[in-house]
Structure 1
Amino acid sequence: MRLSVIGCGYLGAVHAAAMASLGHDVVGIDVDEAKVRSLSLGRAPFHEPHLEPLLAEGIAAGRLTFTTDMAAASGSAVHFVGVGTPQQKDGDAADLTYVGAAIDGLLPYLAPGDVVAGKSTVPVGTAAELAPRVEATGATLVWNPEFLREGWAVKDTVDPDRLVVGVPTSSTTGEPDEAGAAAADVLREVYHAALANGAPFIVTDLATAELVKVAANAFLATKISFINAMAEIAEVTGADVTQLADALGHDVRIGRRFLGAGIGFGGGCLPKDIRAFSARAEELGRGESVAFLREVDAINLRRRRRAVDLVVEALGGSVFKKNVTVLGAAFKPHSDDIRDSPALDVAVRLHGLGAWVTITDPAALENAQRLHPQLNYVAERDDALREADAIIMVTEWDEYRRELTPEHAATLTRGRIVVDGRNGWDAAAWRAAGWTYYGMGRP
């Protein structure tokens, strides 16, 4: 099939390359000329494992192109819209400027029978507002949310754990209307490979599809903040939150995933999405239904302060003129994304207290330095550790969590203080090697 992808940021670029790898002819469209040039050369403008080989393969095969010209969307059977929905500058609600602009720009090139598939994370009710504009062209608007994990986005697109498609429904039966049913069939063809591999294909109304995405993010954020709330209790009782999480995780109703206490979540999705969800619920007159998300957000931010407090405590009550090495800048491993990064937040707070902060990260240093040039950046891990009075791990890259031994670290640093912001290290091993170890919610 011929497909267009409007918006070639993180979501769109991955989706375009993945669809081309499945045999579709794909054109990616974006207003950013530099981004389009980079992608056209097979270079991803961000760090995502396995994406560049996919780009190169699609371009070489002639199935994947990128352009700034919206007219290139003409003739495509499906138009995926994957532009950003950032948090508004003056509030918590989502900024839908880019979504509206993408739809308006696409309208002149739509033909009867085309399917416009929204993939952006939007407040519930957005699709219903946009649908009449699309339907006036004879095309059908559906909502097909993404469930990508940064660092695993290619796999999650090619081999998703579920596909959700919200379509227009009958006002009397609630079932897909004629246009909605036809659009769902078109998307079944688009995702034929995933369906052949057993991925569930869930057809819903538009509002439910929008809610699936924000509800999933809200649930994951709540689970992370729950275990971090337990860490706060553990810290004043002497309990060990890692053992608590292990015990809870054996309950099949709970599970162990996302019960890792630490400095919390960040990135371009969870923080803004739970705030936008709260804002939308209040607009709908149901703010009390998700009022707990405000506390979820507050717990998450408190853990960053707690990590800083541990470093200060470990260094005798002051970090002034002390060398502190921060392991990690990205909000998570396998990514160069620094949006709302807990790692950078911790580093900036320590710098503000007078510490000489050195940051290292395998992928995110350039982005971090552009945002916070006042900090010291060192590419090589061992160079960053030299003469440190204290170490704090805030992004659990393998070269920190698995490959750095306490014995090796001791040959590089001046002090023997380590703060484990992700509870990823073996506390006993570090203590046995002569280090003073501080964990998050651990004795």
Structure 2
Amino acid sequence: MAEQQRLKISVVGTGYLGATHAACMAELGFDVLGIDIDQAKIDILSSGRVPFYEPGLEEVLARNLDNGRLRFTTDYAEVGAFADVHFLCVGTPQRSDSNAADLTYVDAAVDSLAPHLNGPTVVIGKSTVPVGTAARVAARLTAAAPAGDAVELGWSPEFLREGFGVQDTLRPNRIVIGTDSERVEATMREISAGQIEQGIPFLTTDLQTAELVKVSANAFLATKISFINAMAEVCEAAGADVIKLAESLSHDDRIGGKFLGPGLGFGGGCLPKDIRAFMARADELGVEPALSFLREVDAINQRRRARTIDIARGLIGGSFAGRTVGVLGASFKPNSDDIRDSPALDVAATISSLGAHVTVYDPEALDNARREHPDLNYAHSMLEAVRDAEVVLLLTEWAEFRDADPDELGKVVAETKIVDGRNALNPEYWRERGWTYRALGRP
């Protein structure tokens, strides 16, 4: 354990992944230096605040700033002189001109770090990248670093779920390292020693397999979510109940019940862009047909948004023009302020564009939503958002919304009509309280 504590780590990039990884590595006992080119972000983190919502992270960050194990900088020379191991945690968003991943930030980080690597060093990528990227990055590092071949690269994909980032970093369900270097594997084992002792699986693969793990997992997850949403389409046409169908399927050990919840579909900064980038990379590799099914997975996901809008429009007579709509939820999932590719915000903005007066409330994502959609109206409470609404849409399943009192809401709305886009409510109870209740995939 003493050896672990002496190891010095840098984390390149301090977005969601990087800030979480840096704070949690310090929590595990390492000396950590986080780096970013954004001085404002560094200032916020250095003050003990987190520039996004992630339960528990601010406490971990503040604790490790106070005990001196965690610092932040914008100086790559300082990082090069400080760390034995460098984790690449920069973003890989979707390119603006295609479905492919944008590797600009990965390349910029490597180009900035490499000139300061003067001795034997381990660099470990955690960003989600197209297969084949790691080999290219390794060559780029050794070509630009003064230490040359003494700089060795491994790839260890991250498996963070927003809202559970601290838990998933400190106690991951598996640790994967892609490398052909004994030194890289030994370094990763040293970093992960405490977790390995807890029984967390540690898997060593080649670089290419490690790169495929995260995107394969996300593709499988997206497929499972879209499958049950496809069944919701069938259920609506047949008059069946997709919730009872999902419950019945969940008892099959081959299928299981996790992520078999029908509703508005997935969004966020990972699943949508990852499956699209996966398809784009398969096309580049000449195996596009192998992943062609993901196009329908993506299409099913998008259709759920349109179907939610159609159900709401039907409840208010066929047109949104001049109507008042209350929307509960803006983030793509609960326990997050992330609005990237948020189904909730997409539905709200579309309804607004069709002439409705839309008011949105979300417990954490209002500031981000305002920046993205300043044309919408925003409320600071659930009751304020649904006041005088002719239809209410529940689009993000925050606990506050799941536990909402239909009688309390019924006192302020214009009409007791609700579309449950997440199948989060008890339809029988809401109907007993006088509400017209509709949900995706249910009679």
Deviation at 1:342? 0.2
**Aligned-partner Cα distance in 1 for 2:199–2:133:** 30
Partner of 2:137: 130
Structure 1 unaligned regions, length at least 5: 169-179
Partner of 1:431: 431
Output one character per residue of 1:397-443: Cα deviation in whole Å (capped at 9) or x when no partner. 00001x20212211221111000000010010111111110010000
**Aligned-partner Cα distance in 1 for 2:78–2:306:** 49
Does the 8 A contact of 1:145 with 1:164 survive in 2? Answer: yes
Pairs within 5 Å for 1:266-345 = 266-345=267-346
Partner of 1:171: none
Output the amino acid matched with 1:441.
G
Deviation at 1:187? 0.9
Output one character per residue of 1:272-305: Cα deviation in whole Å (capped at 9) or x when no partner. 0000000000000000000000110010000000
Task: Give 2:126's match in structure 1, choosing from 98, 104, 119.
Answer: 119
SS of alignment partner, residue 23 of structure 2: helix
**Aligned-partner Cα distance in 1 for 2:41–2:266:** 27
Partner of 1:265: 266
SS of alignment partner, residue 362 of structure 1: coil
Structure 2 unaligned regions, length at least 5: 1-6
Task: Give 1:86's match in structure 2, choosing from 90, 93, 97.
Answer: 93
Deviation at 1:125? 0.4
**Aligned-partner Cα distance in 2 for 1:442–1:43:** 43
Partner of 2:408: 408
**Aligned-partner Cα distance in 2 for 1:428–1:203:** 50
Output the amino acid matched with 1:116.
V
Percent identity of equivalent pairs = 57
Task: Give 1:108's match in structure 2, choosing from 104, 115, 124.
Answer: 115
Partner of 2:23: 17
Output the amino acid matched with 1:66.
F
Output one character per residue of 1:154-206: Cα deviation in whole Å (capped at 9) or x when no partner. 000000000000002xxxxxxxxxxx122111111112221121110000000
Matched residue pairs, number? 431
Pairs within 5 Å for 1:30-429 = 30-74=36-80, 75-136=82-143, 137=148, 138-168=150-180, 180-401=181-402, 403-429=403-429
**Aligned-partner Cα distance in 1 for 2:210–2:142:** 19
Q: TM-score, normalised by structure 1?
A: 0.96
Does the 8 A contact of 1:27 with 1:72 survive in 2? Answer: no
Output one character per residue of 1:21-79: Cα deviation in whole Å (capped at 9) or x when no partner. 11100000001111000000011010000011111011001110111111122231110
**Aligned-partner Cα distance in 1 for 2:135–2:178:** 11
Deviation at 1:353? 1.0
SS of alignment partner, residue 57 of structure 1: helix
Deviation at 1:135? 3.6
**Aligned-partner Cα distance in 1 for 2:428–2:203:** 47
Output the amino acid matched with 1:60.
D
**Aligned-partner Cα distance in 2 for 1:144–1:78:** 13
Deviation at 1:374? 0.5
Output the amino acid matched with 1:436.
T
**Aligned-partner Cα distance in 1 for 2:380–2:247:** 35
Deviation at 1:336? 0.4
Deviation at 1:230? 0.4
Q: TM-score, normalised by structure 2?
A: 0.96
Output the amino acid matched with 1:358.
T
**Aligned-partner Cα distance in 1 for 2:41–2:429:** 46
